[in-house]
Structure 1
Amino acid sequence: MRPFLKWPGGKRWLITNFKHIFPQKYNNYFEPFLGGGSAFFYLAPQHGMISDINVELINVYRVMARNPVQLRERLEAHQEQHSTEYYYDVREHIPADQVERAARFLYLNRTCFNGMYRVNQLGKFNVPIGTKQNFTDDVYRFEEYSQILQNTYIRAQDFVNTIRLANEGDLIFADPPYTIAHNQNSFIKYNEKLFSWKDQKRLLSALVKARSRGAIIIATNANYPALQHMYEENNFYTQPVSRFSSISGVNEGRGKQEELLVASFQIN
């Protein structure tokens, strides 16, 4: 199934072009940087844990799992009232009710500019309205999404706390936050704010430990020489892969970009 959220850095392109790298057999599934969940919904694992540090994002998944019908009804209500004025009014106010909050998040995700997720220094969502007018074409599938989520633990927590639970035969898909950099300076400038070098080292350490317990590792990252060297030095297999990027707001910034595929096994 396609994910119900559009997310910057989402991995729909990976599923489309490199689905063969995912093993057919594994025990539990662990995804510590959930985002839009492309890999999760492609695999539809029987058991596992998905997590993210974004509390609002995790609330959407929990509500989708537990209250898909109510979430559909609330999103359809947003559809009926959608306008520029309504969008900014919804963006300004965060409801206390979990279902209402999830519907707000999903509404803003589907109607904001280019599906971006950005908050200001006060933690308030501040992306302007986009051009999409109709955004409820998949609501009939919400109960299917709910069914896939039923046997999965959904947690708002640091990635290390998720990875440390993976054991022999479990599959970890780790897709940390990063942007595609055209040179080393821009990598440091942009990515240090998203996911610091210290976090990169914490992630590597957690994956090394999980591999030693027998977990299967698949990860993605920016195609940055120091990162590739760091993983290869710790006996991971790496491969630069290309994707089409449409995140940039200007045409000159769109086109094929390279990312780094990392695995605990030989990548074919």
Structure 2
Amino acid sequence: MATPLKWVGSKARVMDILREHLPAGDRLVEPFAGSCSVMMNTDYPEYLIADINPDLINLYQVIKEDVKEFIDTAEGLFRTANTAESYYRFRQVFNRSKENRTTSAALFLYLNRHGYRGVCRYNRAGGFNVPYGHYASPYFPLAEIQAFAEKARRAKFICAAFGETLQLIRPGDVVYCDPPYIPQTPTASFTSYHTDGFTHNDQYDLCSALSRLAECGIPVIASNSDTHHAHSLYHRFDICRFTAPRSVGVAAGESKQAGEIIAKRLPIPAAQSLSKVCDGCGYEGGGHCPDCGPVMGDATYQEMVASGALNAEPF
């Protein structure tokens, strides 16, 4: 199902792959909302949808609270002349004042649908700075807005960083994270979906937080680019590799496909849990790791007891 927004990195075209890796649960928690493609294409009883971008969360909250007023306001904007002059005038109004939440949300949708290829970008001062898209007839997503409002009845939308959101996890939750991707090349990323950006340290902190949740029995799933850095970061996760279409940042002669990964850690039943994490290197398994001694690998506690491996003396 499509969403109200055009969005760079939307998961709409890879949902058939992603859905296979999302287990059942009482609530899906998404710390990186994006266009809400995952929410719109799954069927969890509840959703906690968060993002650090206040304009995005305001849009979702306004649609949920009063969809009729929002549609009336947004339709009025879409009926104005589709010109660069109108676009830049509305962009200036959007950046100057956001006191009226409904007007601000409607302007955000207008800028998204009339701006360049669904890019959401801000300058260092926090001003939305995406250029005019020069589309002949920008689409007004009436059906998508109405469907979103219906699904949003099950959802809570909050403006929060991922660390704050992950502190709200409760038993029965499933966590899916779609952060800004690690660049495929040093020059591949564009500035910035939010004025704070997303750093290497943020990538590390996110992975660490997800690992801690997994150790507490929470299913965690994350998407990222298929890079050496991402594989190294998520080396304790099960990783699925695939290719996905790119819509922005494709130079002449470059492939329109990009490698991505889905990294996941799901709870292991108690009878199958691994018996030990090596104190020397952190490798998971039983007994001693290859560098620290014998009896290493994926053997479960019960298998090692049966084989007598746990009685082995370390080197």
| TM-score by shorter chain over 0.5 | yes
1:167 CA drift (Å): 3.2
Structure 1 CA distance, aligned partners of 2:112 and 2:37? 16
- Give the equivalent residue in structure 1 for 2:239: 238
> CA offsets per residue over residues 110-141 of structure 1, 9 Å max, x none?
01011111111221111111133434543144
1:154-233 matches, within 5 Å, as 154-178=157-181, 180-182=183-185, 185-186=186-187, 194-232=197-235
Structure 1 CA distance, aligned partners of 2:136 and 2:57? 25
1:113-124 matches, within 5 Å, as 113-124=116-127
Equivalent residue for 1:153, pick from 148, 151, 156: 156
> CA offsets per residue over residues 228-265 of structure 1, 9 Å max, x none?
12211xx2111222111121264434511101210114
- Give the equivalent residue in structure 1 for 2:141: 138
Given that residues 114 and 247 in structure 1 are in contact (C-alpha distance below 8 angstroms), is that contact kept between their aligned partners in structure 2? Answer: yes
Residue-pair matches, total: 260
- Give the equivalent residue in structure 1 for 2:39: 40
Between stretches 86-95 and 97-106, larger displacement belongs to: 86-95
1:179 CA drift (Å): 5.7
Q: Indicate the RMSD between aligned Cα atoms, in angstroms.
A: 2.3
- Give the equivalent residue in structure 2 for 1:30: 29
> CA offsets per residue over residues 178-237 of structure 1, 9 Å max, x none?
26414xx4469989x8421110111012101211222111110122213212211xx211
1:164 CA drift (Å): 2.4
Letter in 1 for 2:115: C
Q: Secondary structure at the match of 2:79?
A: helix
Q: Secondary structure at the match of 1:252?
A: coil
Is the helix fraction higher in 1 or 2? Answer: 1
- Give the equivalent residue in structure 2 for 1:93: 93
> CA offsets per residue over residues 51-100 of structure 1, 9 Å max, x none?
00001111000011111111111121112103222111001112420000
Q: Cα 1:45–1:251, aligned 2, differ >3 Å: closer, same or farther?
A: farther
Structure 1 CA distance, aligned partners of 2:187 and 2:134? 30
Letter in 1 for 2:260: E
1:56-95 matches, within 5 Å, as 56-84=55-83, 85-94=85-94, 95=97
Letter in 1 for 2:9: G
1:101 CA drift (Å): 0.2
1:44 CA drift (Å): 4.0
1:30 CA drift (Å): 0.2
Q: Which runs of 4+ in 1 moved over 6 A?
A: 187-191
- Give the equivalent residue in structure 2 for 1:20: 20
Given that residues 175 and 220 in structure 1 are in contact (C-alpha distance below 8 angstroms), is that contact kept between their aligned partners in structure 2? Answer: yes
TM-score normalized with structure 2 length: 0.76
Letter in 2 for 1:104: L
Q: Cα 1:22–1:113, aligned 2, differ >3 Å: closer, same or farther?
A: same
Given that residues 218 and 261 in structure 1 are in contact (C-alpha distance below 8 angstroms), is that contact kept between their aligned partners in structure 2? Answer: yes
Structure 1 CA distance, aligned partners of 2:87 and 2:132? 7
TM-score normalized with structure 1 length: 0.88
- Give the equivalent residue in structure 2 for 1:252: 253
> CA offsets per residue over residues 138-157 of structure 1, 9 Å max, x none?
31442331121122211101
Structure 1 CA distance, aligned partners of 2:208 and 2:119? 30
Given that residues 164 and 210 in structure 1 are in contact (C-alpha distance below 8 angstroms), is that contact kept between their aligned partners in structure 2? Answer: no
Structure 2 CA distance, aligned partners of 1:189 and 1:92? 22
Structure 1 portions without partners, runs of 5+: none
Between stretches 51-60 and 140-149, larger displacement belongs to: 140-149
Q: Secondary structure at the match of 1:81?
A: coil
